[in-house]
Structure 1
Amino acid sequence: MTDVSIIRANESRRLAAVRRYGILDTPPDGAFDRITALAARRFGVPISIISIVDEDRIWFKSHHGLGVEQIGRDPGLCASAILSNDPHILTDASIDPRSLANPLVAGDFGLRFYAGVPLTTDDGHNLGTLCIIDKEARPIDESQIEDLKDLAAIVMDQIEMQLSARRAVSQAELMAREIDHRVMNSLQFVSALLSMQSRSLEDADAVGHLQLAANRVAAVAQVHRHFYADADDQASCITFLRRLCAELESILGREILVTGDEGNIPTTSVQPIGLLVNELVTNAAKHGRGLIEVHYEIDANKHALIVSDEGRDLPKDFDPAAPGQSLGMRVVTSLTQQLGGKLTSGHRPDGGSCFKVEFEAQQQLRSA
């Protein structure tokens, strides 16, 4: 078989390679634009293009001197250029039998000069071309062709580098998720150990403290699990809180009602919100009575988390940020600071305590 026949037979594999690199329809990239600008200057031509040949179109990753972003595959010279591993050169397309009928040559565009070098992957697939175009016929010598081949190699190096970078990020994310999974399992193991230890003690206060610690660790594990279930940059906070509080109900043995506004928040805010709910609900389960309510409000960019219960009222002079507060209150204060928010406490009209954290959802998290 000839080179052309082999490349045609491998078209499905070539298209799979195009998909593998994930370059189609990506935003403009300065690295590629600099290469096409350099090629136009080096060869003194008005147009230079980095093309990717898709199934039914030729898409331009960079198009110096040309206002369109893609053309159909049939009239495109780049579709012919990828059928060979050699440079595709037309010094005068108006008299070259390979291009006489091409609409870019015979039509209003008036193409006369074309030189394209395939962008070839390490496994031998031609993704597209680096090409230079002129509306005037012109010669090109071997040294210029070699320069064009070197520039095409630089384009391909850049494409390969971007693919490697995406793969590295993907691998890092996979490793991070594996680590997170192990952290969650470790937290659950610690919680189980604490629960087992509490059952071996006779002192009621010690049993209570150990069981509370076990519940806290188990709840943190669930916050961790639900946080990493949301892989996008934005997440529905109310959906997250409903999942989390369903887990807390089984851990704490208390009924928790979740209400509030639908709406997405940055995932950077989800984890501290989950930990806040964990601490406030755990505190309500320990000191309060009756139904625990978790309410989430969204008003434009202003967000508020409210946790209340039907138990005893807080002291009139209670200050959650005052020195000497319990570990739980210190954790709540610290998490509120991470959100750049404000923590207040008060009484429910029908009796019971209420804690409210207000913050702006788009604000970057502060360091603890």
Structure 2
Amino acid sequence: MRITKAESLQQEYLRIKKLSEFDLDLYELRDQFKSLMELAGHIAGTEVSVVNLIDNYSQWTLSAVEDEPKRIAKEDSICAYTIRSSSFMEVERLDLDDRFKNKAYVVGEEAYRYYLGMPLTLSSGENVGSLCMLDTRQQDIGLEKKQALAVIAREIVYKLEHRKKLNETLHTLSETVRIKNQVAHDVRGPIHGIAGLAESVEEEDLSADEMREYFSLIKKSGYSIIEMTDEILNSGRENEVQSSRRINMADLQERLIQLYELPAKSKNLGFNVFVNREKGQLKFSRRRVLSIFGNLISNSIKFTPSGGSIEVHINIINTEIGKQLNVVVQDNGVGMSSAALENYFEDVSELSIGTGGEKGFGLGLKLVNELVHELGGTMKISSEIDKGTKTSILIPIN
């Protein structure tokens, strides 16, 4: 049964949202996958063996022989086709395939001819990337070797999912310590009050009315302790498990520059990330942060023409509800009309073309909006045709 465009877009949205839940740091992942990529290359006998993860806009490549992750646009990716399948995808002659024969990696200096991709399928069913084999020569990889490569692909997924579970477990442990400390702090005051009242009852000669008044105060203090512990225990059950990994603004600035400076330069765009240096070392949960920034910056790169600029401002501010991470991403790109802005968070979006010909379906801002609200934050967007877009976000932190 052929699926509709709306169903296809919904599936893709769920796929990129599932990938965002892993809170992946590409620089950390490379070391975890290095030995598996080397093993895959040895089994296949190909010149290139890499792991590709595919988000809303980009394919990010992790290699056993290169320290830095590489990025290409999603529409230039072969693996973007692989993730649509439940099985491996093989292209014996890239230069004869109409989908790929004009790609830079087929006609350029590397001139790849052969491709084999094994989808990285999560236990929930979504394909978030592939184990990719490339060679400048034609290859004949037998079924037995392909089955072995499929096993390696499953091991890569296992490592991804195990990493996520480990982060959740670490958070549970840290949350337990936080609750213990909160209980100790909140209960100390009422307990001291009860002890003081009890000493007074014990040491002083009190009338029956005075005794009743003291016992009434003791009872109220006891109930206040019960209410506090109930509130703490209930909130501990209701809160979604969050990653315990933390990051500061200075490190976040460096990571964003590492990941997005080159894509911006490839379109001749100015790209700057500013942080409040006085608070640069303050740490906060990194949960969803890289996904939020990545989608906003990629969206700006897509819709800002050559010669334009993108600015990212990061700060921690004090508000009535406590400390919040204040994020502003601003560009001077093509912008959006008020009508387009009103409809941008609908489930189905039309195909949009970036200033460099990049393709997309407008899922990035929809995803960011949902991630921000899951964190208890707020998001505001202002935009004007031919003047650019400004996205402002506040996320509570502790």
The normalised TM-score by structure 1 is 0.51
Which amino acid counterpart does residue 137 of structure 1 have in structure 2? Q
Distance 1:172 1:91, change over 3 A: same
Distance 1:115 1:55 in 2: 22
The question of whether the paired residues in 2 share the 8 Å contact of 1:52 and 1:58 is answered with yes
| Structural RMSD (CA) | 3.1
Distance 1:40 1:171, change over 3 A: same
Look up the match of 1:143: 144
Which amino acid counterpart does residue 125 of structure 2 have in structure 1? G
Look up the match of 2:63: 63
Q: Which runs of 4+ in 1 moved over 4 A?
A: 2-9, 65-68, 231-234, 262-267
Q: Which runs of 5+ in 2 are unaligned?
A: 206-244, 249-277, 284-398
Look up the match of 1:196: 197
Distance 1:102 1:29, change over 3 A: closer
Q: What does 1:331-346 correspond to in 2, within 5 Å?
A: none
Look up the match of 2:241: none
Distance 1:194 1:266, change over 3 A: farther
1:173: how far off?
2.1
Partner SS for 2:95: coil
Distance 1:108 1:9, change over 3 A: farther
The question of whether the paired residues in 2 share the 8 Å contact of 1:75 and 1:104 is answered with no
Look up the match of 2:186: 185
Partner SS for 1:80: helix
1:148: how far off?
1.1
Which amino acid counterpart does residue 117 of structure 1 have in structure 2? M
Which amino acid counterpart does residue 130 of structure 1 have in structure 2? L
Distance 1:135 1:153 in 2: 26
Distance 1:17 1:89 in 2: 26
Deviations 1:227-268 (A, max 9, x none): xxxx9799xxxxxxxxxxxxxxxxxxxxxxxxxxx999999x
Residue 123 (str. 1) matches residue 118 (str. 2):
no
Look up the match of 2:103: 102
1:123: how far off?
1.4
**Aligned residues with identical type, % of pairs:** 18
Deviations 1:49-100 (A, max 9, x none): 111101111012x213467522121211111111111111012212234432
The question of whether the paired residues in 2 share the 8 Å contact of 1:36 and 1:64 is answered with yes
1:162: how far off?
0.3
Higher relative contact order (CA 8 A, sep 6+): 2
Which amino acid counterpart does residue 136 of structure 2 have in structure 1? K
Distance 1:136 1:4, change over 3 A: farther
Look up the match of 1:10: 11
Partner SS for 1:10: helix
1:153: how far off?
0.4
Look up the match of 1:76: 77
Distance 2:50 2:281 in 1: 41
Distance 1:55 1:174, change over 3 A: same
Distance 1:3 1:123, change over 3 A: farther
The question of whether the paired residues in 2 share the 8 Å contact of 1:8 and 1:83 is answered with no
**Structure 1 stretch 24-33 or stretch 155-164: which is displaced more?**
24-33
The question of whether the paired residues in 1 share the 8 Å contact of 2:120 and 2:127 is answered with yes
Which amino acid counterpart does residue 63 of structure 1 have in structure 2? S
Distance 2:101 2:93 in 1: 10
The question of whether the paired residues in 2 share the 8 Å contact of 1:35 and 1:151 is answered with yes
1:197: how far off?
3.1
Residue 112 (str. 1) matches residue 113 (str. 2):
yes
Distance 1:47 1:128 in 2: 16
Structure (1 or 2) with the larger CA radius of gyration: 1
Partner SS for 1:129: strand
Which amino acid counterpart does residue 80 of structure 1 have in structure 2? Y
Distance 1:133 1:73 in 2: 17
